[in-house]
Amino acid sequence: MIYVDNAATTRLKPEVLEKMMPYLTDHFGNPSSIYTSGREAKIAVNSARAGIAAALGATESEIFFTGSGSEADNWAIKGVAHAAKGKHLITSAIEHHAVLHCFEYLGRNGYEVTYLPVDSLGLVNPEDLKNAIREDTALISIMTANNEIGTIQPIPQLAAIAREHKIPFHTDAVQAFGHIPLNVNELGVDLLSVSAHKIGGPKGVGALYIRKGTKITQFIHGGAQENGKRASTENVAGIVGFAHAAALAIRNLDENAKKVTELRDYYIKRVKETIPYCVLNGHPELRLPGNSNFSFEFIEGESLLLSLDMKGIEASSGSACTSGSLDPSHVLLAIGLPHEIAHGSLRISFSEDNTKEEVDTIIAELGPIVQRLRDMSPLYEGIKNKA
């Protein structure tokens, strides 16, 4: 099996699982308990917190563990909106659903939301942000890097605009964390969401960075965990795994980024050479190392994925969350693709575990599959006949 859907989720790294194992076996204490096993668990959670803080250039007391990247996004957005007086919110048109659907929910519940457009490469224009800001703008949320097309936003520039107006700035860095260098102070953000399973950590663990002084209501009420800010018995093993995965990702960031970028560029080059009527979506340079996203004209994405799967190649069309839905990707529509082309996209996202040989196999399979589907497509008839 060739797994090239690392933007959807990643294999839990064996060395990460190894660090988790004590907490899945003997060290099962509840971190809120004051006896030995509880204290040991607490120490494990707090040192994981220090690890995530270090990875982001934050301080420990600004890191709060959650049950997922989605929960971190929900907490950040609803929490800041609810704590604020202003009723105007700003986000972008290409956010992940975990962000977008929060804004849509708030939009139905007394808030007014501005969705900033993006250009054909997926970039938000800082001028658009400046123009959207109002007296009563309570929150700006723009993702660090897009999950479908990989475009990296100019967050320092955007966050600086927010700061000028004293508006809290959130960024969903779930796709960026561990793949490109991130420092909350260099970015200038007030809130930042991350998730473990995108960087070789376990599923079901995320974290929210909340800059000291940021006004935010609680999201999960209850016990006094996470400094009284997020209730729930801590997923100790998961948290420990997340921190270790983050440490590995940060330690090897440059090396991995170089390797993965090379693989991806090789794949992109080979696709362009071998398959006609395709277009690369996203930005040529301001792009996550592992991300590629092609639209193949005249064919539909799901058929492409199923065909690849039959050859043992696991890849994605848009975000995993939206598969099963009939709408074409909102991201591809936002960068201006027509519907039928937006329907035919293939996201291949590499990790450092992928190889050049795998890319060669993908290329060898992809061409005939695309051709077979085109031969089956009524949209291709005219083209073929013209050619």
Partner 1 sequence: MLYSEKVMEHFANPRNVGEIEDANAIGEVGNKKCGDIMKIYMKIENEVIVDIKFKTFGCGAAVATSSMATELVKGKTIKEALAITNKAVVEALEGLPPVKMHCSVLAEEAIKSAIADYYRRQGIDPEPIVGCSLKCESCHSHG
Ligand X SMILES: Cc1ncc(COP(=O)(O)O)c(C=O)c1O
Contact residues for ligand X, defined by CB under 6 A = 68-70, 73, 96, 98, 143, 147, 172, 174-175, 195, 197, 206, 232-233, 321
Report, in Å, the least distance between residue 143 CB and ligand X: 6
Comparison of 209 and 298: residue with beta carbon closer to ligand X: 209
Contact stretch for a second copy (CB under 8 A) within 1-9, 84-92, 158-166, 333-341? 1-9
Contact stretch for a second copy (CB under 8 A) within 10-18, 134-142, 160-168, 178-186? 10-18
Report the site for a second copy in 292-321 (rule: CB under 8 A): 302, 305-306, 308-309, 313-316, 319-321
Q: Which helix (H) or strand (E) holds 63?
A: strand 63-66
Report, in Å, the least distance between residue 273 CB and a second copy: 25
Report the site for partner 1 in 356-375 (rule: CB under 8 A): 375
Which residue in this structure is represented by tokens 């013209």? 386
Report the site for a second copy in 127-186 (rule: CB under 8 A): none
Contact stretch for a second copy (CB under 8 A) within 122-130, 199-207, 348-356, 377-385? 199-207
Taking CB under 8 A as the rule, does residue 29 contact a second copy?
yes
- State which of residues 19, 42, 78, 197 lies at the interface with partner 1 (CB under 8 A): 42
Report, in Å, the least distance between residue 204 CB and ligand X: 8
End-to-end CA distance of the chain: 36
Contact 126, 118 (CB under 8 A): no
Taking CB under 8 A as the rule, does residue 229 contact partner 1?
no
Contact stretch for a second copy (CB under 8 A) within 130-138, 184-192, 233-241, 245-253? 233-241
Report the 10 Å Cβ neighbour count for 258.
Answer: 12
Select the binding partner of residue 172 from a second copy, partner 1, ligand X, none (C-beta < 5 to 8 A, by kind): ligand X
Residue type at 294 in one-letter notation: F
Taking CA atoms, 126 is separated from 88, 188, 275, in Å, by 18, 15, 36
- Of the residues 160, 280, 321, 383, which is catalytic? 321
User: In angstroms, rounded to a whole number, what is the distance separating the alpha carbons of residues 239 and 207?
Assistant: 9
DSSP-based three-state secondary structure for 290:
coil
User: In angstroms, rounded to a whole number, what is the distance separating the alpha carbons of residues 301 and 309?
Assistant: 12
Comparison of 188 and 328: residue with beta carbon closer to partner 1: 328
Report, in Å, the least distance between residue 89 CB and a second copy: 14
Select the binding partner of residue 5 from a second copy, ligand X, partner 1, none (C-beta < 5 to 8 A, by kind): a second copy
Report, in Å, the least distance between residue 116 CB and partner 1: 24
Comparison of 56 and 237: residue with beta carbon closer to a second copy: 237
Contact 231, 221 (CB under 8 A): yes
Taking CA atoms, 291 is separated from 226, 270, 287, 304, 348, in Å, by 34, 15, 7, 18, 6
User: In angstroms, rounded to a whole number, what is the distance separating the alpha carbons of residues 249 and 172?
Assistant: 18
Contacts 24+ apart (CB under 8 A), 178-181: 178/55, 178/245, 178/246, 178/249, 178/250, 178/253, 179/145, 179/249, 179/253, 179/256, 179/257, 179/260, 179/288, 179/289, 179/290, 180/144, 180/145, 180/152, 180/253, 180/257, 180/288, 180/289, 181/253
321 is annotated as an active-site residue: yes
Contact stretch for partner 1 (CB under 8 A) within 20-28, 199-207, 256-264, 326-334? 326-334
Which residue numbers are catalytic? 321
